[in-house]
Amino acid sequence: MSEFNKQTKLLSTTKEDIQTAAKIIKNGGLVCLPTETVYGLGANALNGEAVLNIFKAKGRANDNPLIVHIAKFDDIKPLVKSVSEKAKILAQKFWPGPLTMIFEKSSLIPDEVTCKMDTVAIRMPSHKVARAIIEESGLPIAAPSANISGGVSPVTAEHCYADLKGRVDAVVDGGECEVGLESTVILMVGDKPRLLRPGFVTAEQISEQIGEIIIDDAILNPLKKGQQVLSPGMKYKHYSPSAKVIIIDADDEKYYSYVNQSQGEDVFALCYDEDVEHINKKCLTLGKHFDNESAANRLFYNLHQFDLMGAKVVFARLPKTDGVGLAVVNRLLRSAGFEVIKL
């Protein structure tokens, strides 16, 4: 018999259901919960066995560490060795919110969370349901994105349920995630802070607060053979829908003519609102022309939609990399397996 035969409860965001979700966490179970970034697959971060079940449910590689979620600043103290002045400034400015910081870990954090690394990633989400579940459980919650590894991150409860039904104890439905992309990850250990994963909190906003930061090379480039990675998540296939995504780096006219002359019923376009009238294929849009915040919000949602619509090939426009665009392009490149056609 499959080990994935749990009765997955569907919970709402009533007080009673939040108490039920918190109880499951306290008892070592798994709960999919809404956050402002994407849905998380949460377990008690202080219980190694519960955390191990996250890896099993997702099919996650056992060297890809998890982010620990807290509800208030003081919760961080027992989890890390120290919090630098720069980290305090960032926490003050961006917490609660979509920023994850990496610190040297304390002995309270089990090896299962960090995959035996001596650092731990911590975030304080702003979503009121995520915060209520953390507070009600009285525990830090380890939570990666609530999807089978390799697929597109979930931004609705339906996305979680479709992927993880039978594998988790409950899914809490808090509606669609506001940001729609995972958090910004920054390493706060070492000489200079280093951006490991771009997100809604941008490199520019961080630099404004704490000065120069290093932008990790792996953000926009595929790894070279044998290259060491500081964030293990960067080396894995990621965010892939069933459809084949191909990025087109071109001006308006060249993009339209390339997409219009391509053959096939199941060819779709991922473009901007203003492009739709020029394209003879079915389109989903990232919002107004090169609006990065709206693109961040629509990207994963639309990748899920393409699969529901039976798309085989998706020709995506390449967004700009300023501000939140860096996060959008980082995810889109991985969805496309770095396949970019430059016209």
- Is-contact 120 68, C-beta < 8 A? yes
Residue nearest to Mg ion (CB): 145
Report what 232 binds from ligand AMP, Mg ion, none; CB cut-off 5-8 Å by kind: ligand AMP
Which one of residues 51, 102, 134, 170 is an interface residue with ligand AMP (CB under 6 A)? 102
Residue 204: C-alpha distances to residues 98, 165, 201, 315, 322 (Å): 15, 39, 8, 29, 9
Report what 241 binds from ligand AMP, Mg ion, none; CB cut-off 5-8 Å by kind: none
Q: What DSSP designation does 139 have?
A: S
Site string for ligand AMP, 252-291 (x = CB under 6 A): ----------------------------------------
Q: What string of DSSP letters covers 217-247?
A: GGGTSPPPTT---SSGGGGS--S--SSEEEE
- Quote the distance between the C-alpha of residue 25 and its chain's center: 21
Site string for ligand AMP, 42-61 (x = CB under 6 A): --------------------
Amino acid letter, residue 165: K
Rg (CA), the chain: 20
Considering the complex, state which of residue 193 and residue 233 has its C-beta at the smaller distance from ligand AMP.
Answer: 233
Q: What string of DSSP letters covers 23-74?
A: HHHHTT--EEE--SSS-EEEEETT-HHHHHHHHHHHT--TTS--EEE-SSGG
Residues paired with 123 in a beta bridge: 69, 100
Which one of residues 22, 25, 122, 185 is an interface residue with ligand AMP (CB under 6 A)? 185
Examine residue 64 and tell whether it contacts ligand AMP (CB under 6 A). Answer: yes
Q: Could you give the CA distance from residue 172 to residue 256 in angstroms, rounded to a whole number?
A: 41
Per CB under 5 A, the segment of 56-64, 141-149, 166-174, 266-274 that binds Mg ion is 141-149
Considering the complex, state which of residue 203 and residue 250 has its C-beta at the smaller distance from ligand AMP.
Answer: 203
Considering the complex, state which of residue 154 and residue 271 has its C-beta at the smaller distance from Mg ion.
Answer: 154
- Is-contact 207 323, C-beta < 8 A? no
Examine residue 35 and tell whether it contacts ligand AMP (CB under 6 A). Answer: no
Examine residue 145 and tell whether it contacts Mg ion (CB under 5 A). Answer: yes
Residues in the site for Mg ion, rule: CB under 5 A? 145
Residues in the site for ligand AMP, rule: CB under 6 A? 64-67, 102, 114, 117, 119-121, 144-145, 182, 185, 196-197, 230-234
